[in-house]
Amino acid sequence: MATAIAIVPLLVDINYTHATNPLWPPHARFHVVWQCLIQAGIGFVILKLLWPQNHIFNYDYCCNNMRMRSVDYPYRVEVANTLLFIFIGPFYVTMSAMKLFGGALADVNGVPPIPLGPLGSIDSNLLAMMFGMSLNLYVLSSIRDTNRKLLGGGSHMKKKLGGVLALD
């Protein structure tokens, strides 16, 4: 999801459907490019928070196994997930308020809706955000369960050393 936030808007919106759309006023084009760059920045921050190199791997010679220690990884995953919600949540608020400012999910010469056969069609932005929100809710649920087990002293937690979790 973070990769999609970082890259997809640059590919989908910095083109004739948005940033160079002749029907858009110049100031609206400015805002869409600005928004895409902010989205890309947030996506790269999320990837940095989740990147595996932030783990410290330690080989335990006495027990002959690899342990992963991470001081703050569960917290960083929650921060990354929160940033994803900050990206997705306002989409639904804006969609709900479109009548107040004359907004629309798509333009006449923009990205066409995705056909769903006999069910009709769905806007591509809405479909992407529905997928993103579902994925985020699933991840949030999973990490909260994992954090509860880790920090609450679940059976797989070996010991806590100076705030560093040592996991099998």
Band (pLDDT 50/70/90 cuts) for residue 44 is very high
Quick one: tokens of 159? 């010991």
Span 67-102, pLDDT tens digits? 554 557 777 888 888 898 888 889 999 999 999 999
How large is the average pLDDT for residues 8-13? Answer: 89
Band (pLDDT 50/70/90 cuts) for residue 158 is very low
As a whole number of angstroms, the distance between CA 67 and CA 65 comes to 7
As beta bridge partners, residue 115 has: 121
Q: What does residue 71 show for φ and ψ, rounded to 5 degrees?
A: -70, -45
* Residue 26 pLDDT: 93
Q: Using the predicted structure, report yes or no on whether residue 130 has a pLDDT greater than 70.
A: yes
